Structures are given as structure tokens and as C-alpha cells.
Amino acid sequence: MVESIVSTGLAIGCIYALIGITYNVMFSASRVFSFTAGTLGMLGGVLGSLFIGRLGLPVAVGFLLALAGGVLLGIVTEIVAVRPVLKSLDQHLYVLSTLALALMVQQFTAIEWGTEARPFPRLFDIARGGFDQEFWLPMLACLTVIVGLELLYRHTLIGRAFLAIAEDTYAARALGLPERSLRMASYALAGAIGALAGFAGGEMLLAFFGNGPMLTFYGFVPVALGGMGNNRGAVVAGLLLGLFQQTANFLVGGIFASVAVFTVFIIVLLARPEGLAGAAVQRRV
């Protein structure tokens, strides 16, 4: 039983962490949290099920197409919902514009794909067993993304440019960095990560339009607790969240597990609004 809690908890925690990283990658590039983060996860699952399950494409092709869908939504988010409102960041219009876009994608999915949860195909044709692909796929995806991002940020020029933008947009622009292209690239990357989360967790979460708001919320918890823009914090907090949720699930049952997660989230945030690992920002008068 403990084994099942741990494997399920870690697997689902990895999905939350990946959505958290999706938030962070977008945030670093633009200082904007986007409601489309969870939608990307939902889309990854639905597109995977569509391409591989319904259209019968090979797994690799379906995988790449699902990621491409995420990239596309990431870029659309940047162009439609983020860029127009960046000028007036202090009015928080991005909350509404990204919410609108997320709802549009979600409704479109609900109508075209259907409102019931559909199965996600098994990616590898191996027998179902204890530590199944259902569990290790999300973990593998999470590990790949973390290592990949570390390599990108530390060892490539474009990765350093991302960091520069995240650190100080004005200074980066003054240095001649193409801020707009970098922001688009960040959103494309975030789109791919979000879709990967949904794709890797497809068997667990199914291809269901309602996963959007669910992931938007549970994926934000690691960001809030781990500190904005802090990927390592997001991974740790995401795994803890997954374990906590599954344990509570086992101990007190599904609904009250959700209530427990929500309560802990609110209490931690009220006690430390900047997150467990974040630093308070001085307000300017």
C-alpha cells in the first residue's frame, strides 16, 4: 500500500512540478503568470489520445505532434494574451486575458473532443506491472526537463539570454538582446513542457477537458510554495504536494484530500506569501 502511495504520489507530483515549471518559464520571460499553464497539460493528454489512440499514428509522431500543439498554444498565448497587456503590467490585465484564452481552448476542446474523460493509449507495449509506465513516464519526463533546462541555462548562449531577461528585462534590452523573440521562445518552450506533462501523465489523468483548471490550480501550488521563478523549489514542492495528496487520499478519502491540500496551501501562503523559498519584495511608493 505504501508502495502504491509513493509511486502514485511521486508520479502525480512530477506532473504538478512540470506544470509549475511551465508557469515559471513563462513568468521568467514576462513577469506574467498565465492561466494557460494547466490548459497546456490538458491539451498534451487530449492531443496524445487523438493522434495515437484515435488516428493511430506511431507513438513518436503522435508525441511530436502533441508537443507541437503545446508550442503553438504557447506562442499564441504570448501574442494574443500577454504581449498586448505587458505595457500596463500593474493593472494585472494579464490575469483576465490569459484566463480568457485558457477558457477558449478548454471550451473548444469540450465541444470538439467531448466532455467525458477518454482513455489515453499505452505508449509501450509491455505488460502492466508493479512499477508501471503509468508511473515512471511522468518521472522520466520531469527528470528530462530538469536536466534539459539546467543544460540549456548553463551551457548555451540562448539559455543565458533567457536568464538575463529573467533577471533584468531593461538591462537585457539595453544590451541589445532581442527581448521579444526571446519571450516568444520562452513561451514556445513552456508550451512544450506543459504539453509534455499532460502527455506523460496521460494514462493517469486521461484525456479530459476538465484537467485544465485542475492542473492550473495544482500546478500553481508548487510555484507559490517553491517561490516564483524557482524551478528547483517547484520540483521539490510538486513532489511533496503529490505525496501529501496521495497520503491524504488514502487516509481520509478523495474529497477531504482536496480540502486538505487547499487548506495547507492557503495557510502556508498566508503565513509566507512569498513562498517557502522566496524572498519578500520591497514595495515601492
Partner 1 sequence: MTQVRPSRADALGATSTLGVALPFLALLVIGVTLPLFGGGYWGVIATRACVYWVLVSGLNLVVGFAGQIAIGWVALLTLGAYTTSVLAAGNVMPSLSPYLALAIAAVVGAIFGLIVGLPALRLRTFYFAITTLGFATIVTQVALAWQSVTGGGVGVAGPIFPKPFDSQWGFYYFCFGLAAICTWMTANIAASRFGRALTAIRDAEVAAEACGIAKPPLLALVFLFSGAVAAIAGGLFASLQSYITPDAFTLDLSVLFFIAILIGGRSSILGPLLGTILLTVLPEFAAPLVAWSTFLYAVLLLVIVLAMPGGIAELLDFKNRRPLESGRAIVPRPELLDRLLAAPADGGAGALTLEQVALAFGGVHAIDGLDLEIRSGQIHGLIGPNGSGKTTTLNVISGYYAQQSGAVRLNGAALPVLERHRRAHMRIARTFQTPRIVGSASVLQNVMIGGTIDGKCTFVESLLSLPRHRRDEVLLRDTAMLALSAVGLERLAPVRADRLQHSELRFTEIARALMLRPAFLLLDEPAAGLSAEEIGRLGALVVAIARAGTGVLLVEHHADLIFDICHHVTVLNLGKNLAAGTPADIRSHREVVNAYLGG
**Contact positions vs partner 1 (CB under 8 A):** 33, 80-81, 84-85, 92-93, 95-97, 99-101, 103-104, 107-108, 111, 213-214, 216-217, 220, 224, 253-255, 258-259, 262, 265-266, 269-270, 273, 282-283, 285
Minimum CB distance to partner 1 smaller for 55 or for 96 = 96
Closest distance of CB 216 from partner 1, Å: 7
Asked if residue 9 lies in contact with residue 15, where contact means CB atoms within 8 angstroms, the answer is: no
Q: Give which of 153, 157, 162, 156 is closest to 186, Cα–Cα.
A: 162
Closest distance of CB 164 from partner 1, Å: 22
Minimum CB distance to partner 1 smaller for 119 or for 253 = 253
Closest distance of CB 92 from partner 1, Å: 4
Q: Helix, strand, or coil here: 118?
A: strand
Minimum CB distance to partner 1 smaller for 158 or for 259 = 259
| Alpha carbon of residue 242 to chain centroid | 14
CA distances from 242 to 13, 116, 236, 246 (A): 4, 24, 10, 6
Minimum CB distance to partner 1 smaller for 59 or for 260 = 260
Q: Helix, strand, or coil here: 15?
A: helix
Minimum CB distance to partner 1 smaller for 136 or for 217 = 217
Residues facing residue 207 across a β-bridge: 118
Minimum CB distance to partner 1 smaller for 33 or for 120 = 33
Closest distance of CB 7 from partner 1, Å: 23
Closest distance of CB 159 from partner 1, Å: 26
* E strand or H helix that includes residue 89: none
Angle between helices 231-252 and 211-226 (to 10 degrees): 120
Residue with cell 507513438: 59
User: How many Cβ atoms sit within 10 Å of the Cβ of residue 228?
Assistant: 19
Closest distance of CB 244 from partner 1, Å: 15
For residue 102 the three cell numbers come to: 485558457
Alpha helices in 114-178 (DSSP H): 133-155, 157-167, 169-174
